[in-house]
A and B are shown apart, each in its own frame.
Chain A
Amino acid sequence: QQQVKQSPQSLIVQKGGISIINCAYENTAFDYFPWYQQFPGKGPALLIAIRPDVSEKKEGRFTISFNKSAKQFSLHIMDSQPGDSATYFCAASNPGAGSYQLTFGKGTKLSVIP
């Protein structure tokens, strides 16, 4: 059972454009939603994270939008740059049991073309 569904699998965006990646979750106990960026040969790196008490969080060119009722959240990358080309993973966790173990989406490979 895939608890976090991510789409699209791959995305091609022109430089300067907006990249949008969507995730949906099933477990209503999730209450921490991070996004990770992974370059080839590297480990995932935390990009931005949100908790369900806010509907949007912005850090630089990266914004998370969160819709609790729809159980969906998305990552928007404004003014996308070739250096943003990477695989992006959404994730969710339920820390109620005292652990932030992450349940990841399958990933989105983003290519930003000049």
Chain B
Amino acid sequence: DSGVTQTPKHLITATGQRVTLRCSPRSGDLSVYWYQQSLDQGLQFLIQYYNGEERAKGNILERFSAQQFPDLHSELNLSSLELGDSALYFCASSDSPVDTQYFGPGTRLTVL
């Protein structure tokens, strides 16, 4: 168990809808990363927050957004969902912006 928690574990929704994925980092970790894992693209970095501020941005679509709250938990918002957004979404945390990342168990999103 990495100490990173993600909810929900599974999410099934329809095209055009909006969903929110939640991540609680390990106790004391200030940095949160979001990754998407799909069969065709593999594991891809989406976005990173450090202590509430956006630190780095990767291949994140404009329909997706994220934030990190004062209690350090983070949410990834996915809107206008398309079939191709079906994937596993992982959150990882570390105790500094440049340190080892510990991954959560992921949220499996299915868009029908």
Contact = CB atoms under 8 A, between A and B. Distances in A.
Nearest to A105: B42
A103 interface: yes
Interface stretch (B14-22, B74-82, B95-103): B95-103
B68 interface: no
A49 B101 CA distance: 11
Contact of A99 (B2, B35, B56, B104): B56
A98 B97 contact: yes
Contact of A42 (B35, B58, B105): B105
Interface residues of A, number: 23
Interface string A83-107: 0000001010001011111111111
Nearest to A46: B100
B33 A43 contact: no
Given A99-B55, A101-B33, A107 B101 contact: no
A101 B56 contact: yes
A6 to B, nearest CB: 9
Given A44-B90, A45-B2, A107-B42, A100 B101 contact: yes
B43 A104 contact: yes
Closest 3 CB pairs of A and B: A43-B103, A99-B56, A104-B43
